[in-house]
Amino acid sequence: MITIFHHNRCTKSRSALAALENSGKAFEVVYYLETPPNKSELKEMISKLGIKPLELIRKGEKVFTENYKSKNLSDEEWIDVMIAHPILIERPIIISGNKAVIARSTEKINEILG
């Protein structure tokens, strides 16, 4: 099953959702601001993406620039920050099996859709 972590107010996220709808493949939509991933789900997502937690953070968000921009936190602490402020999680994220991508481009979406 394909899962998209989606934010309806984000243009890139809406584009990724449209691509999934047009693919004809079954998928699930998780509105991650309303139903944020828990710590273990977030760790699993980061592992599937093959990145460090800090790379999943939206650094242009006000909550980041005002509270965390100059902080040097551990991976575990960055995960806790995303749990506390899900708006900081980069979007959209599409997961299928053991693969995950930050689907901000058509190429990335196609990595999942094949």
Write out the catalytic residue numbers: 10
List, as one string, the DSSP characters of 16-47. Answer: HHHHHHHHT--EEEEETTTS---HHHHHHHHH
* Closest CA relative to residue 70, chosen from 79, 59, 80: 59
DSSP notation for 71-112 = ----HHHHHHHHHH-GGGB-S-EEEETTEEEE-SSHHHHHHH
Contact 102, 49 (CB under 8 A): yes
